[in-house]
C-alpha cells in the first residue's frame, strides 16, 4: 500500500471525480434501476434465490453512518426502499447482480445511533441481526466473552488512520511523531488498535482521550491542536471541502502501516449462525463478494443511494455524492478494495490473522481482556462460504 502520512493532494482528483460522478449519474438516470431490471427478468438464477434459505430480511449492523466504506451493502440494496429516520434503518429488496433475491436487506447504522456500542455487543443483544462489521482485532479481543466468526472480508485493508493538522504540527510526519511530542489523540473508547499502539510504545496512554464522538467539534475548537482517529476514505475530503469550520488539508497515516493489520470491515456473525444459516451463507457470501466487484466497476448507483439515505436521516453526518466519489476512488487506488494475494476478493489469509492474534493477544491480556485460550484464526474467520472464482479484474 502507498504510504499515506503525507498531505493528501485531492484537489485535482476531486474535480475529476465529481465531474465523473455527475456524468455517470446522468447516464444512470436513463438506465433501468436494479429493482426494475429484476422485475423485467424472466427468472432469477438459482444462485441468487435466497428466499428458501435466508431470513426474509437480512439485517446487517454497520459500524458508522452510511458511507462508501459500506459500499457492498448499498450495492445490494434496491434504491426504492424504506428509510426509517427514527431507528436509522434502510430496508429494501436485496438485489444480486441485477436479480431480485426474494428477500430484503436492512442496513442499520452504527456509531452514535447505537450509543457508540461495539457491533459485537449489538449482535448479542439483538439476535435478529445476521451480520455486522466486526474487525478481526475486535473479534480477538472479545473472543472469550462475545465470540464472532467473520464470513467475508469485502475489503483487503482497513482505512483506519490517525490525522493531524499539518499547519499546527509541521514537524509531525507519522503517528510515532505524535507519540514523541505528546500530542493529545482523540479516539473511540474501547477501540482495540489503540491498545496495540500503546503496547508497542508508539503512543502513550497519558496522551489518549477516549471520548471521541466522531464529530469535528473538538478538532475545530482546538484549532487543530489535537489529533484524532479517522478514515482515509472520508476525512481528507470532509475536512478540506465540506466541514465549513475547517476547509483546510489534513495529514494522516494509516494504522496498518505500523504492523497492525486486521481485516477492519469483515462481515461477521454469531458462531451458532455459521451452522444455523450455512445454506444461506453459501449463497449470500458470494453475492456479497460479487456486489463489491460490481461496485468497483460502477460505484455511482450505490454512492447515490448512500447520499440519499444520509440526507434523509439528517442527523448531523455530512456525506455528499462528492465525498462518496472520493471514497470510491481512494478504496481502489490505495488497495482497500482489492483481491487477496491468492487472487480472490473477500477471503481471509489465515496466516495474517494468526500473526495479528500473536501480536495483540498479550496486549489485551495485560488489560484484563484475555482472548480465548488457544485462539487461532479458524475460531474467528472462515472461508467455507467463499466463492474462489470471484475477483476484481486485473485492471481494477
pLDDT value at residue 396: 53
Percent of residues in the chain assigned helix, strand, coil, to nearest 5: 40, 15, 45
If one counts every other C-beta atom within 10 angstroms of the C-beta of residue 181, the result is 13
Vertex 71: Cα angle to 215 and 16 (nearest 5): 80
142 phi/psi in degrees, rounded to 5: -105, 15
Please state the pTM of the whole predicted model. Answer: 0.82
Question: Where do the structural domains in the chain lie, given as residue ranges?
Answer: 11-157+263-380, 160-258
Could you name the CATH architecture of 11-157+263-380? 3-Layer(aba) Sandwich (3.40)
pLDDT value at residue 191: 78
Whole-angstrom CA distances from 266 to 119, 244, 337, 379 are 12, 33, 12, 14
* Spatial CB neighbours of 97, under 8 Å, sequence gap ≥ 6: 48, 287, 290, 291, 294
Look-up of cell digits 426502499: 81
For the chain of 396 residues, list the mean pLDDT of each consecutive stretch of 10: 34 36 35 40 84 98 95 98 97 96 97 92 97 95 97 95 97 98 93 86 96 92 97 91 93 91 94 98 98 97 96 89 92 92 97 94 88 97 98 81
Q: Specify whether the CB–CB gap between 126 and 117 falls below 8 A.
A: no
Topology agreement, domain 11-157+263-380 and domain 160-258: yes
pLDDT value at residue 364: 86
Q: Specify whether the CB–CB gap between 229 and 185 falls below 8 A.
A: yes
Q: How far is CA 63 from the centre of its chain?
A: 7
DSSP code string of 230-270: EETTTHHHIIIII-TTT-S--EEEEGGGGT----TT-EEE-
**Whether domain 160-258 has CATH 3.40.190.120:** yes
pLDDT, tens only, 190-223? 777 898 899 889 999 999 999 998 889 999 999 9
pLDDT, tens only, 35-66? 444 443 458 999 999 999 999 999 999 999 99
Amino acid at each position: 500500500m502507498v504510504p499515506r502520512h503525507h498531505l493528501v493532494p485531492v484537489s485535482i482528483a476531486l474535480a475529476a471525480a465529481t465531474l465523473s460522478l455527475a456524468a455517470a449519474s446522468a447516464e444512470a438516470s436513463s438506465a433501468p434501476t436494479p429493482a426494475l431490471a429484476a422485475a423485467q427478468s424472466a427468472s432469477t438464477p438459482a444462485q441468487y434465490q435466497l428466499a428458501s434459505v435466508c431470513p426474509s430480511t437480512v439485517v446487517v449492523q454497520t459500524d458508522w453512518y452510511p458511507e462508501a466504506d459500506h459500499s457492498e451493502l448499498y450495492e445490494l440494496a434496491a434504491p426504492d426502499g424504506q428509510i426509517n429516520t427514527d431507528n436509522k434503518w434502510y430496508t429494501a429488496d436485496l438485489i444480486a447482480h441485477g436479480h431480485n433475491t426474494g428477500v430484503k436487506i436492512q442496513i442499520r447504522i452504527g456509531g452514535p445511533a447505537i450509543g457508540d456500542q461495539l457491533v459485537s455487543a449489538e449482535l448479542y443483544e439483538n439476535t435478529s441481526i445476521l451480520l455486522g462489521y466486526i474487525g478481526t482485532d475486535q473479534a480477538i479481543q472479545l473472543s472469550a466473552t462475545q465470540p464472532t466468526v467473520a464470513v467475508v472480508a469485502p475489503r483487503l485493508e482497513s482505512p483506519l488512520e490517525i490525522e493531524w493538522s499539518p499547519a499546527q504540527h509541521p514537524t509531525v510526519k507519522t503517528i510515532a511523531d505524535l507519540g514523541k511530542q505528546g500530542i493529545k489523540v482523540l479516539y473511540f473508547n474501547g477501540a482495540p488498535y489503540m491498545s496495540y499502539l500503546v503496547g508497542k510504545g508508539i503512543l502513550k496512554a497519558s496522551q489518549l482521550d477516549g471520548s471521541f464522538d466522531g464529530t469535528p467539534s473538538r478538532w475545530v475548537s482546538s484549532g487543530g491542536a489535537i489529533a484524532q482517529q479517522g478514515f482515509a476514505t472520508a476525512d481528507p475530503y470532509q475536512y478540506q471541502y465540506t466541514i465549513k469550520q475547517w476547509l483546510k488539508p489534513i495529514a494522516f497515516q494509516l494504522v496498518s502501516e505500523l504492523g497492525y493489520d486486521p481485516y477492519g470491515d469483515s462481515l461477521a456473525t454469531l458462531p451458532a449462525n455459521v451452522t444455523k444459516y450455512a445454506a444461506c451463507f453459501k449463497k449470500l457470501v458470494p453475492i456479497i463478494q460479487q456486489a463489491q466487484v460490481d461496485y468497483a466497476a460502477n460505484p455511482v448507483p450505490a454512492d447515490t443511494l448512500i447520499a440519499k439515505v444520509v440526507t434523509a436521516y439528517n442527523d448531523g453526518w455530512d456525506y455528499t455524492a462528492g465525498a462518496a466519489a472520493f471514497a470510491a476512488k481512494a478504496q481502489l487506488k490505495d488497495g482497500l478494495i482489492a483481491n487477496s494475494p491468492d487472487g480472490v476478493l473477500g477471503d481471509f489469509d489465515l496466516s495474517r490473522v494468526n500473526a495479528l492474534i500473536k501480536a495483540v493477544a498479550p496486549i489485551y491480556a495485560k488489560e484484563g481482556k484475555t482472548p480465548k485460550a488457544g485462539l487461532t484464526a479458524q475460531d474467528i474467520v472462515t472461508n467455507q462460504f467463499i466463492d474462489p472464482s470471484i475477483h476484481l479484474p486485473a485492471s481494477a
